[in-house]
Amino acid sequence: MRVVFRLYAKFREQLGTSRVELDLEDGATVMDALGGLFHGDVPRGLMVAVNNRLVEGLDTKLRDGDVVDVMPPASGG
């Protein structure tokens, strides 16, 4: 299956692009995909949305055509 990642802020800078497409095995989770995207070193505290909906757990299963937004944690006040 093919999944699109949109990267924001420091993650866009770290990977040198704002968009990455990955081919994943059927049944892959958000965590599986992030491990591939960040070469096994998944940053802590990131925020993830799948198809414009924030996900709580990184064990959310992905489907072909999903769009995953990867953002740094929100801060401010």
How many CB atoms are closer than 10 A to CB 73? 9
Residue 76: the pLDDT is 60
From the CA atom positions of the chain, what is the Rg in Å?
12
Residue 73: the pLDDT is 84
Contact between residue 62 and residue 68 where contact means Cβ atoms under 8 Å apart: yes
Mean pLDDT by 10 residues, the chain (77 residues): 96 94 96 92 92 94 97 76
Spatial neighbors of 50 by CB under 8 A, at least 6 apart, are: 30, 60, 62, 66, 67, 68, 69
Tell whether pTM > 0.85. yes
Residue 74: the pLDDT is 76
Q: Does residue 14 form part of some domain? A: yes
Overall domain count for the chain: 1
Domain encompassing residue 30: 2-71
Q: Does residue 76 form part of some domain? A: no
* CATH number reported for the structural domain that contains residue 39 in this entry: 3.10.20.30
How far apart are alpha carbons 14 and 29 in whole angstroms? 22
Q: Does residue 30 form part of some domain? A: yes
